[in-house]
Chain A
Amino acid sequence: MTVSNNGVAKENGNTRSTFFKSFFSFLITFALMFLTWIVLSGKFDPLLLWLGGISSFLVAYYFYDLLFPAMGSGYIKVFFRFTSYMPWLIWEIVKANFHLLYLAFHPRMKELIDPHIITFKTNLKSDIAITTLANSITLTPGTITVTADSDGVFRVHAIDRKSAESLPGTMLKKVAKVFGEQI
């Protein structure tokens, strides 16, 4: 799960739109950092606000392409689709957690579980989509991502047959829809 910024390397078209996209990701990073500062500090003295503004400006100036590789205003769409993906994910996590609780408390647990490793290939391209899918698989109990490389090949350790069956289906479709990629 290494995060490389290959999004920046691709953008060597006209310089004006590249500048705009970099500025946009700079703005997002600055807003995020400043919001985090306000939440963490909780004070509203002008001095502290200025200090937070300066430090988040420095962070955003040097590391704007680290958190959000230049993509322009597509982030707004991705953000809204991601927030609509979030409740489904949480519901799925809760459902699967109860299954795992049932397994953990079952007196004859060793007959119920059947650990095995499955491998499947996806066509996801961007690193952020692969990372999101891998983290979602790991958060859904019963399955742990063992390896996920940049070609989109996943190896998943599943604890029993039931949680392995449903794997590459719905979640992959949802993640691909969030990041606008075809399956």
Chain B
Amino acid sequence: MTTFFLSIALGLLFLMLFSLYRALFGPTVLDRLIGVNAIGSKTVMLLLLIGFLYGRVDMFVDIALAYAFLNFVTVLAASRYFHKRKGLYEESFMD
């Protein structure tokens, strides 16, 4: 079962690369925000899997919960920050 968990975790890491592409090369700021949000929600899962791999789930569940909170607050704060930003429409044609 440990090998299976490890392979699932590696698959999640591989999928994070896809989201990282969007976070790095996204045409607008909000695209990058989407990528960061997707990476965060995969990280929550990855933390739980790491907890099972190390046999310390009781500790890692708390970390995952805190990370979910933090991810939510990050996205909310960043999207409030870019509320009134003009010129996003022109930026989206730059690709």
User: Do A and B bind?
Assistant: yes
Query: Which of A's residues lie within 8 Å of B, judged by CB?
Result: 40, 42
Number of B residues with CB within 8 Å of any CB on chain A: 3
Per the bound structure, the CA–CA distance linking A40 and B65 in Å amounts to 10
Q: Does B95 contact A (CB under 8 A)?
A: no
For chain B, what secondary structure do more than half of its interface residues adopt (helix, strand, loop), or is it mixed? helix
CB distance from B49 to the nearest CB of A (A): 21
Q: How far is the CB of B61 from chain A (nearest CB, A)?
A: 10
Report A44 CB to chain B, min CB distance, Å: 15
How distant is the Cα of A42 from the Cα of B65 in the complex, in angstroms?
15
A-B contact list, 3 entries, CB within 8 Å: A40-B62, A40-B65, A42-B58
Per-residue CB contact flags for chain B residues 56-90 toward chain A (1 = under 8 Å, else 0) read 00100010010000000000000000000000000
Tell me the complex Cα distance, A42–B58, Å: 9
State how many angstroms separate the Cβ of A151 from the closest Cβ of chain B. Answer: 22
Cβ-closest chain B residue relative to A42? B58
CA distance A40 to B58 in the complex (A): 10
Q: Closest approach, in angstroms, between the C-beta of B2 and any C-beta of chain A?
A: 25
Q: Which residues on the B side are within 8 Å of A40 (C-beta)?
A: 62, 65
Chain B nearest CB from A19 CB (Å) reads 35
Residue of A with least CB distance to B58: A42
With a cutoff of 8 Å between Cβ atoms, the chain A residues found around residue B58 in the complex are 42
- Chain B neighbourhood of A42, CB < 8 A: 58
B38 CB to closest chain A CB (Å) equals 13
Residues of A within 8 A of B65 (CB): 40
3 A-B pairs with least C-beta separation: A42-B58, A40-B62, A40-B65
A53 to chain B, nearest CB (A): 21
A118 to chain B, nearest CB (A): 21
Contacts of B62 in A (CB 8 A): 40
In whole angstroms, how far apart are the Cα atoms of A42 and B61 in the complex?
Answer: 12
In the bound assembly, the distance between CA atoms of A42 and B57 in angstroms comes to 13
Cα–Cα, bound, A160→B89 (Å): 22
A119 to chain B, nearest CB (A): 21
